Amino acid sequence: MSINMNRISGLASGMDTDTLVKNIMTGERASYVKMQQQKQSLQWKQDDYRAMNAQLHTFFNTMSSMRLQGTFLTNKATSGDDSIVSATASINSQRTTYAVSVQNLATGASLQSGALAGGTALKGTDTLNTQGTDVSMAINGQTITVKAGATVNDFVQAVNSVSSNTKVTASFDSVQGKLSFASTITGNNALVDLTQTAGTPAASFVTNDLGMSTVRNQGQSANVLINNTSYAFDSNQFTFNDTQFNLKSAAPNTTVNVTVEQDTDAIMGKIKDFVNAYNDTIDKVNAKINETHDRNYAPLTDDQKSQMKDTEIQQWESKAKSGMLSGDSLLSGVLSGMRMDLANPVSGASGFKQLAEIGISVENGSYNANSWRDNGKLYIDESKLKTALQTNPDAVMNLFTKDGTGNSDTGIAKRIYTRLNQAMTQISNEAGDVGGLGMKSFLDKQMKQLDTNMYDENKRLNDLENSYYNRFAAMEKAMSQYNSQSSWLAQQLGMKTN
C-alpha cells in the first residue's frame, strides 16, 4: 500500500497536521453541506407534492363518474314476488310497472339411457361398445365414432368433444349405472336427437348397448304474459325494454308486478361519495399548506446522524420535513378554484342552479365561496336532497353534468373534473410523477443542477484540502532541513571548542 507522504503528521514541527486541516476544511465545507441540505429539502418537497397529487387523483376518479349522466340515470327493479320472477334494471330501462304472469318456464331437452350392462356395478373404465367393431351414431346430425371396445368414459368424452356443435353434453351416473344426455340451451331449439348411422353392424349400439327406447326429446320456450300480451322466450333470463327478467317458477294463475323506477338511494350514495371525497381532499390539502416550517430544523448531515440515536433522528427529521408546502400557492389556488366552482351558479341550467338548492351547503346552510368555516367543508341535508331527486331528477343531473361553452354554464362536476385535471398537470410539471423517467420536472431540474454544483464544489474542496496538506508538507520539509542544518552547525561548533 502506497503512503501519501504529504499527509503524514508533523514529524519536524510536532503539529497535528490532520486535525489542523480538518478544522480548516470544516468551514470550507459549509457551502457543500448547505447544498446537500437544499437537495434533501427539495426531495421532501417533491414527496409532499406527489402525495398531494395522489390525493387529488383519488378525488379526480370520483368526479370522473359524477360528470357522467349515467351516474344519475340509475334505475332499480322491484318484484312483488321474487320466488316467481325477479328483475334487474339498466340505465336505459323504461320506468314503468309490468304485470307478469309466468305460464311455463323454458326447459332444455334431455334423455337418459337404460340400465347399461353391468348396472350399478358399472364403472367409467368398463367397456361400453360390445359390437366388436367401430360404430357410428349421430347426435343432432353430428356424427361421432365409438371405437370397438370403447369405455363409458371414452364415449362421454366423444360426445362432449362436439358439444359446441350439437349443444348436447353427456354424463355418466355411476350410482344408477346410466348415461344422461342434456342440451346446453333451453327453448324450442333445444334438442337431443340420437340416431344410429346407417350401415353400422346390426344397428344395435343405441338400442342394445345404450338401452335407449326413446331417442329424441325437445325443449320448450318460456311463455309469459306481460301486461296481458303473450311472449315466448328461449331462456328463463331475457331482456325486455332494457330490463333483464329472471323467471324462477311457473305460476299461470298469479300476476306479479315488477316496478322499474329511479334508484334514488343509489344516486344519493354517489352524491355522498362526492361530498366525502371533496371534504377529505380539502382536509388533507389544507393540513399540508398550513403546516409550520421551523427553519431551526435543517436536514441532518451524515456526521450529525452518526452522533444521534435513531429516535432522535426520527424526531428531528419529522420537524425538518414539516412545512415543505407551507402556504404553497399552487395548492392554495386549487382549493380556492374548487370553492368558486362549487359556489358559482350554473347559468342556463333548468331547475336547480346551485348546490344549496338541493341541500348541499357549508355549515351555515348556504354556500358562500368566501366562507372559511371548516375550511369550506360541505354538508348534506339528506331530506332536501332526496326530495330534489324525487321531484326533479333531471335538474339535479343537469346541475352536475351540464355541457357548457365556458366555466359559468358548465355543470359543477365537470368544472371540478377540469380543475383537478389542470392542477394535477401543474403539480406533475413542478414535481414529476411517482416513478417518472426523464427528470423533466422543475424540482428534478433543480436537484440535477445541485448535483452538478455539488460535484464541482467537492472537487474544489478536495483540491483545496490537498493544497493545505502540500503546504504543511513543504513546511515540515523546510523545518526538517533547518533542524538538520542546526544540528550540523551545533556539532561543528562543538568540535572547534574541543
* pLDDT tens-digit series, residues 366-399: 444 444 456 788 999 999 999 999 999 999 999 9
Measure CA of the first residue to CA of the last residue in the chain; give whole Å.
48
> Cα dist. 386→66, 269, 356 in Å?
17, 11, 13
What percent of the chain shows pLDDT beyond 90? 58
Please tell me the predicted confidence (pLDDT) of residue 367: 44
β-strands 135-139, 191-196 pairing: antiparallel
Q: Which fold has domain 110-218?
A: Alpha-Beta Plaits (3.30.70)
Segment 215-221 shows an average pLDDT of: 95
Most confidently modeled range among 58-72, 295-309, 450-464? 58-72
Segment 183-197 shows an average pLDDT of: 91
Task: Provide the grid cell at 379.
Answer: 354538508
Please tell me the predicted confidence (pLDDT) of residue 208: 79
Q: Which range has the worst mean pLDDT, 213-227, 341-355, 458-472?
A: 458-472
pLDDT of 212 > 70? The answer is yes
pLDDT of 71 > 80? The answer is yes
Q: Which of 37, 119, 490, 84 is nearest to 305 (CA)?
A: 37
286 touches 375 (CB < 8 A): yes
Mention every residue, 6+ apart, whose C-beta is less than 8 A from residue 171.
Answer: 156, 179, 180, 182
**For the purposes of burial, counting CB atoms within 10 Å of the CB of 190, is it exposed (0-12), middle (13-18) or buried (19 or more)?**
buried
Please tell me the predicted confidence (pLDDT) of residue 370: 46
> Cα dist. 170→154, 180, 182, 247, 418 in Å?
11, 6, 7, 26, 58
Segment 350-372 shows an average pLDDT of: 72
Q: What is the mean pLDDT of the chain?
A: 86
* pLDDT tens-digit series, residues 157-178: 999 999 999 999 999 988 888 9
Residue 1: pLDDT band with limits 50, 70, 90: very low
Segment 78-93 shows an average pLDDT of: 96
* pLDDT tens-digit series, residues 97-142: 999 999 999 999 999 988 887 777 788 888 888 878 888 889 999 9
138/195 Cα distance (integer angstroms): 5
Task: Provide the grid cell at 146.
Answer: 365409438
pLDDT of 243 > 80? The answer is yes
Q: Which of 201, 358, 266 is nearest to 70 (CA)?
A: 266
127 touches 205 (CB < 8 A): no
pLDDT of 474 > 80? The answer is no
DSSP 213-249: S--EEE-B-EEEEETTEEEEESSSEEEETTEEEEE-S
* pLDDT tens-digit series, residues 16-52: 667 776 776 677 777 888 888 899 999 999 999 999 9
